[in-house]
């Protein structure tokens, strides 16, 4: 390769010799602006309930989320994302609770939006917290039906926008939903509401702890391989993103994160759209358990997050957002 130089006139260690020179040649850095903090919410009063499979992560009742939102604002975390855990009785085959304007997410949105202006809120669009079979859409003849599901997702999106959601985040992987959601948002006067498409979402085994957190794990029948991507594929991701950009996505996401850094880079190299990464629950728990066991030190957290920046992603949805923001400030 040209311009590479050669030893001994070239010594790469010279640029690594002191802290100041290392800082001068640093190619990537993590800032608090890169963080999106997922928060699990549930019914009840004065509850902060540990999630067994995610040490250090809790589910909060709505009266307890003020403290979290204030903390996020104080640390300048730009955005939070809300995930509800529904009691079993509120679940059915159609996920109708998703369209109830007094459901947990809607109440949380109203509560937060009324009091706090300086933080963005993102909400998932998908039916899995609300269905008694744990799938992201409605089931016909044994598979998740695409076009009927989209009709419900469009309604769910409009409802969340009405309640003050800033970023609508379809995580369902139905074909064509971004376009229909965008069209309806625009029609109803929500031109300013952004869409983050979970465009490249793999059928991953790293979601286990999350499904535990939202209570869909035991319910889930089968797997999600007929709508989420096969982890053996990466070129297909380019087609997913191309379609979603055409349909009006403001940002796209690659999920999970660390095992898919190559995919993040592929998307970044092919498109000029902000690429979000999701360091998912299974990644979080692997790292957290290893820290708790003293297998590794907590320095691996920042190292793991910088890997996303190197690959070309920012921001990053991570359950470490709160503790990392503390370290960065």
Dihedral sign, CA of 113, 115, 119, 123?
negative
- The catalytic position among 91, 94, 201, 288 is 201
Q: Would you give the binding string for ligand PBG spanning residues 30-49, x where CB under 6 A is met?
A: --------------------
Q: Is 327 annotated as catalytic?
A: no
Find all residues with CB under 8 Å of 94, minimum gap 6, and list them. Answer: 127, 131, 138, 152
Nearest residue to ligand PBG on Cβ basis = 210
Cβ proximity to ligand PBG, 37 vs 210, nearer residue:
210
127-156: which residues touch ligand PBG (CB under 6 A)? 128, 136
CB-based contact 21:299 (threshold 8 Å) = no
Q: Which of 124, 212, 247, 322 binds ligand PBG (CB under 6 A)?
A: 124
Q: Is 155 annotated as catalytic?
A: no
Alpha carbon distance 37, 326 (integer Å):
13
Alpha carbon distance 19, 212 (integer Å):
43
Residue spans of alpha helices (H) in 116-248: 146-162, 177-187, 208-213, 235-247
Alpha carbon distance 158, 155 (integer Å):
5
Q: Would you give the binding string for ligand PBG spanning residues 191-230, x where CB under 6 A is met?
A: ----------------x--xx-------------------
| Tokens 């309806």 found at | 184
**In the 8-state DSSP scheme, what is residue 230?**
P
285 touching ligand PBG, by CB under 6 A? no
Cβ proximity to ligand PBG, 97 vs 136, nearer residue:
136
Cβ proximity to ligand PBG, 186 vs 230, nearer residue:
230
| Residues taking part in catalysis | 201, 255
Binding site for ligand PBG (CB under 6 A): 124, 126, 128, 136, 171, 207, 210-211, 280-281
């Amino acid at each position: 390769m040209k311009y590479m130089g050669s030893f001994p006139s070239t010594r790469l260690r010279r640029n690594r010799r002191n802290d100041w020179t290392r800082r001068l040649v640093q190619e990537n850095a993590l800032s608090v602006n890169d963080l999106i903090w997922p928060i699990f919410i549930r019914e009840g009063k004065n509850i902060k309930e540990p999630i067994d499979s995610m040490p250090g992560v809790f589910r909060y009742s709505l009266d307890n989320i003020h403290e979290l939102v204030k903390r996020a604002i104080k640390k300048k975390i730009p955005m939070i994302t809300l995930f509800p855990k529904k009691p079993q009785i509120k679940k059915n085959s159609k996920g109708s609770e998703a369209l109830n304007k007094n459901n947990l997410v809607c109440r949380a949105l109203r509560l937060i939006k009324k009091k706090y202006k300086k933080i963005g809120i993102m909400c998932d669009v998908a039916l899995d917290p609300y269905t008694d079979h744990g799938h992201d859409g409605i089931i016909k003849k044994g598979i998740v039906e695409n076009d009927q599901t989209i009709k419900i997702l469009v309604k769910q999106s409009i409802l969340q926008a009405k309640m003050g959601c800033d970023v609508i985040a379809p995580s369902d992987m139905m074909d064509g939903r971004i376009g229909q959601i965008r069209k309806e948002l625009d029609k109803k006067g929500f031109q300013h509401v952004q869409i983050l498409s979970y465009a490249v979402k793999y059928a991953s085994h790293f979601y286990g702890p999350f499904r535990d957190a939202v209570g869909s794990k035991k319910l889930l029948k089968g797997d999600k391989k007929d709508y989420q991507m096969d982890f053996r594929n990466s070129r297909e991701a380019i087609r997913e993103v191309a379609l979603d950009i055409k349909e009006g996505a403001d940002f796209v996401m690659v999920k999970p994160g660390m095992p898919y850094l190559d995919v993040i880079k592929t998307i970044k190299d092919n498109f000029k759209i902000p690429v979000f990464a999701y360091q998912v629950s299974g990644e979080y728990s692997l790292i957290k358990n290893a820290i708790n066991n003293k297998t590794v030190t907590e320095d691996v957290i920042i190292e793991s997050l910088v890997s996303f920046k190197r690959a070309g992603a920012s921001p990053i949805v991570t359950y470490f957002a709160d503790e990392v923001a503390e370290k960065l400030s």
